[in-house]
Each structure stands twice: as C-alpha cells, then as structure tokens.
Amino acid sequence: MWVLLLVFVGLPNHAYTKQPNIVVIVADDLGYQDVGFRGSDILTPNIDRLADEGVILENHIVSSICSPSRASLMTGRYGIRTGFWKGNIKPNEEFGLGLDETLLPEMLKRNGYKTHGVGKWHLGMHTWEHTPPKRGFETWFGMFLGEQGYFSHKKIGRTDLRENYYDLGNLVDNVRSDLKGKYNTYLFTDKSVELVQNHDQTKPFFLYLAYTAPHIPHEVPEED
C-alpha cells in the first residue's frame, strides 16, 4: 500500500493559516518498485512529480494487506494493537475497527477541519457505528468492503458504491446503482476534485482519497 500525503497551506489572509489543508492519497496493492521514479517501466508521471517536488519517506513499513494497514493509518497504531492481527475483514464478517479507537478524521474534525472520505474503507460495516460517516467523515463517497468490480461496483452480488452525508443532522445513505458501468478510479478522482474545488475556504480541509487501484480485479477502460 502506497500513501501520498499532500499538505497545502492557505493564503495569508485566511483565518486558518496555521491549519493547512491535508490530502491523503492511498494506492492499493501498488508494489514498491511499480512507479516511475523507482525505475519501473510502468508510467506514473503524476506520482513521479510528487516524489520529485516533495519528500520521500524511505523507512516506513506497512502491512502487506488492506485492513491492518488502513487501521494503522487511521489510528497511528500498530495493526496488532487495533485487533487486526488476523488479517482482512471478510464480507459479512461481524468485525471492525474498535469503537474505542480515535481516528484521524475524528481528531481533525474536533480541531475545526471539514472532513471528507473517498474510495475504499475496509475497516468494518457490520454496524453503522463502524462505517466512515460515524468515524469522523462528514461526507463519504465510495465503498465499505475490500474490493469490487471496477465497473459493476459489486461484491458478493451487491452494489457497494454509496454516497453518505448529513442532511439537517440525519445520515443519508445513497447507494449509487445509477453509476454502474463507470470506472471507479475516475469516479473517485472526479469526486475528489469536486470536493477540493467547492470546499469552504474559511475552514481547513481534510480529504482521504483511497483508491482501489491496482488491487484485483484487474480491470481498466478499453482506451487505456
């Protein structure tokens, strides 16, 4: 799992100058050498640019599988400390990241951030209390499970692409079956761009963008 951390400082006349906007981008199952700046034949120009203009952290190690890595990223703790010693959450499994854990979006929200999540969760969905909109994200667009068809958006026969937000304090759960046939990588990117462009610039902004790519199934648009 690759993690890219982007920090953008607001303009000096903004009230939150000391609180930068934060975007965390996660690539799922991307190999250490599978990026251009590592010498790979795979073309990754945007990642290469971020590496060239930013800081590369060389000594950070994550779990080789999804749920433990995400649990560590969200809590700042070793996966084994969060209960994820046994591996990934399976579909229909009644297990999730403990409700006694304080997550990154929860902490940022307490400090005035607008918090948004896009993409893959994979930290529990057997109760609503374990889902992103109950774990600090004011909005969520994406999936709760660990993988899905990139075009069908289905896992175990059910659509797992949803849009969550709060309307007058009430949680809205909108399953986006209407987006079937659209490539989820593009959907996640478009939603993220929309959130960045439309955010309230009087408040600091946090976006967690967790792509499923290049996790299985290996599906891409024909033009690619």
As annotated, the active-site residues are: 66, 122
Task: Return d(Cα 130, Cα 98) in angstroms, integer.
Answer: 8
* SS3 letters across 117-141: EEEECCCCCCCHHHCHHHCCCCEEE
Preceding omega of 214 cis (within 30 degrees of 0): yes
The CB density around residue 123, as the number of other CB atoms within 10 Å, is 28
CB distance 210 to 121 below 8 Å: yes
Task: Return d(Cα 165, Cα 188) in angstroms, integer.
Answer: 16
Q: Residue 120 burial (CB < 10 Å; 0-12/13-18/19+)?
A: buried
State CA 138 to chain mean position distance: 14
- Is the dihedral angle over the CA atoms 81, 82, 84, 88 positive or is it negative? negative
CB distance 105 to 206 below 8 Å: yes
